[in-house]
Structure 1
Amino acid sequence: MKKIWAPWRIEYIKQTRADDECFICEVINDDPINDKKNLILHRGKNVIILLNLYPYIAGHLMIAPIEHTADLKDLPLETSSEMWNLTTKTVELLKAAIRPEGFNIGLNLGKVSGAGLKTHLHIHIVPRWSGDTNFMPILSDTRVISQELSETYNELEKFKEILEK
């Protein structure tokens, strides 16, 4: 049996974060000059768009409120509206930049739903292509990502004006 090593995954697997630690708040509160390093593609009035540091596939983005909240009912209407408006625009950005054939869009609310970060809700936007799911995740708990995060960021950044419309 062949083995493919994915050493970058161990960083995520071994992470133990206290409930009050939030990587989304950490990057939001960092100086905006570091947005590219922090993979923040867009800062809106109440919402950010960022690349997932541990993507399911190239182009996997997240939309999160700037306000730290785990519960949808706690989101102000203005923030909720901005999140869904930017979800639509993000889909258009991904279509223009990397031309996926479809999308999975959703939230994982609570640990049992699969939320890696249960204290700061966020929408996942996962571009999909025919044949992008293969045997690797099933047999070896490994995802094959076709592109470095910095390359994906640079490709998407070319189409950021879509988010400003």
Structure 2
Amino acid sequence: MEQVFAPWRIEWVERDGDSGGCPFCELPDRDADRESRIVARSEHAFCLLNNAPYNPGHAMVIPYRHTGSYPDLDDEALLDHSRLVQRTLAAIDDGLDPDGANTGMNLGDSAGGSIDDHLHTHVVPRWQGDTNFMPVVSDTKVIVEAIDDTYDHLHDAFAAQDGVRDPGPDEAIVIE
């Protein structure tokens, strides 16, 4: 069995109050943005760092509305969601300087997502050579940056964008 040392994951394992509800509905209501890894908020969506990142900076843009169906989003929520994906890509570019990015959704149970009843768009920064011998030879992915450091980079990059309010380092950037 392959073992990977990931001490930052203990917070997720030992978290309080697993109510069995939707984490994408519960996290924005916790009043603990940094702890919840919420980097930015807009009127209809929020940007959350993935707790099991594919690469450093792996974020998800999630509408507040609980739905697994993309057509269920009204025009206002759909536009806001898309604009937050756009701003997330810009923050990732400015804060992490990747060579590219992947974006996409896993819609429906058979699409492979772990949470299929609350849609979300993955935004994954990519670097030349980030798929190297480790995942190919040893089926192991190396994440080279702690999630708290990634949060700081993206928080600062969002804060530098036009039309935002920065309530402080422990609260999500508010996109106005």
Normalising by structure 2, we get a TM-score of 0.80
Q: Secondary structure at the match of 2:157?
A: coil
> How far off is 1:164 after superposition?
3.4
> How far off is 1:6 after superposition?
4.2
5+ residue gaps, structure 2, are 165-176
Name the residue aligned to 2:103: 105
Could you tell me which of 152, 157, 164 is aligned with 2:155?
157
Name the residue aligned to 1:80: 78
5+ residue gaps, structure 1, are none
CA distance in 2, matches of 1:115, 1:163: 33
CA distance in 2, matches of 1:71, 1:163: 31
Matched, 1:26 2:26: yes
Task: Rate the CA distance shift 1:142–1:62 in 2: closer, same or farther, 3 A.
Answer: same
Name the residue aligned to 1:68: 66
Q: Please, what is the CA RMSD of the aligned residues?
A: 2.5
Q: Secondary structure at the match of 2:46?
A: strand
Identity of aligned residues (%): 36
> How far off is 1:30 after superposition?
1.2
Q: Secondary structure at the match of 1:160?
A: helix
> How far off is 1:76 after superposition?
1.2
CA distance in 2, matches of 1:101, 1:7: 26
For residues 36-85 of structure 1, the C-alpha deviation after alignment (integer angstroms, 9 at most, x for no partner) is 11000011111000100110000001000001110001111111101111
Aligned residues: 157
Q: Is the 8 A contact 1:111 1:118 kept in 2?
A: yes
> How far off is 1:139 after superposition?
4.2
Matched, 1:40 2:38: yes
Task: Rate the CA distance shift 1:7–1:159 in 2: closer, same or farther, 3 A.
Answer: closer
Q: 1:55 corresponds to which letter in structure 2?
A: P
Name the residue aligned to 1:5: 4
Q: Is the 8 A contact 1:58 1:147 kept in 2?
A: yes
> How far off is 1:140 after superposition?
3.8
Q: 2:104 corresponds to which letter in structure 1?
A: G
CA distance in 2, matches of 1:54, 1:111: 19
Normalising by structure 1, we get a TM-score of 0.85
> How far off is 1:163 after superposition?
6.8
Q: Secondary structure at the match of 2:123?
A: strand
